[in-house]
Chain A
């Protein structure tokens, strides 16, 4: 595959960013990025232990999608979606599509305006994907790369950044660590994993990861 680089497209947004926020320059070199994906995770209901035994219930965790999440290219790499950064909102199915004249990490901000499988959000989350993950998913810059934003995509991004390993190594290592047979399944939103054993392992890990990624309970 041949990927060429040139001065970025000076979209109105890019020009606004350059002139107002100085986050980009129309004279720098950058790659085009077109992405699509799903903001996914798990809907976790903790077990209830009331005073009366009949009212007790087991906890549950099911694959889920996040609607209304803000997805952006994090141009300045601060881990949040700032004004002026290319952003969109995930649909009722959790899907999103977005383009940028500058390749940057993807961030999904899941706040109080989002829902998890139609349920209100009880904790804020930020899911991420590293630039290397976007590049690995890109068949050609003029075509859309599929990059899902999930608790596991965030774990892969963290492994790449903290351990300095490649995308493939991070994927394989995560799959091995949590017991997923088909490594590429860790890239999917849990709702799209068809292998029952892999889905169970991904849901279990997602519950743990979401717990780590929670940015404080919604008041």
Chain B
């Protein structure tokens, strides 16, 4: 009887996870001058990746150079952990209370990924902001790594990496789910930990009865 009960719990957890599945996603944003921001994150989707919530484990690169701390003369600049904030059109500011959703349709995106909490700190070391706010301002995509240079910045004489698209089009943005076989590392999703725990408990209780 207990085994049946346990099987029902496992089945219920699995069915929930099928409706809203956790996965790793890969994105790119190509700027008009050929620069490209790309990255990965973990999230939950219930519509095949059209919209993704519960964003975590962010990683971003600009022209192949990761958003990562830089140590100069023994002093480290930049934070290793990236954060994401939603753009709040009412406040005309980034928000840390509104849950962030990343959409496959680029025209729906309103977020900034950076090494700071953009709701309280507007001075990141690296950032990728993708704003579609026709109410307050023209849409805009900005990617910058203020700790790095590359061939693009060198060609323009710019001191650091900087890409701006003041008229972003949705087709510049690509979002896709990374096939599980290509996910190399990262923590187990919560639902998987739950299932594993339930199975182990079930096995343990069976052993105790025997």
Contacts and interface: CB of A to CB of B under 8 A. Distances in A.
Q: Looking at chain A's contact residues, is the secondary structure mostly helix, strand, loop, or mixed?
A: loop
A64 interface: no
Interface of B: 72, 75, 77, 91-94, 112, 114, 118-125, 127, 129, 131, 136-137, 140, 142, 144, 146-147, 149, 156-160, 162, 164, 166
A97 B140 contact: no
Nearest to A30: B123
Given A12-B147, A140-B92, A143-B142, A89 B122 contact: no
Nearest to B122: A141
A36 B163 CA distance: 10
A2 B93 contact: yes
Given A34-B144, A140-B93, A98 B158 contact: yes
Interface in A99-144: 99-101, 139-144
A1 B93 contact: yes
The size class of the interface chain A forms with chain B is 35 or more
Query: Closest 4 A-B residue pairs measured CB to CB?
Result: A13-B159, A141-B122, A1-B92, A2-B93
B144 A99 contact: yes
A4 B93 CA distance: 11
Given A5-B123, A12-B72, A89 B156 contact: yes
22 contacts: A2-B93, A2-B119, A2-B120, A2-B122, A4-B121, A5-B123, A6-B121, A8-B123, A9-B77, A10-B75, A12-B149, A12-B159, A13-B160, A15-B72, A89-B157, A97-B162, A97-B164, A98-B158, A99-B159, A139-B136, A141-B122, A142-B124
A206 to B, nearest CB: 23
Most buried by A among B131, B140, B158: B158
A88 interface: yes
A184 interface: no
B162 A98 contact: yes
Contacts of A88: 156-158
Interface string A5-33: 11011111101000000000000000110
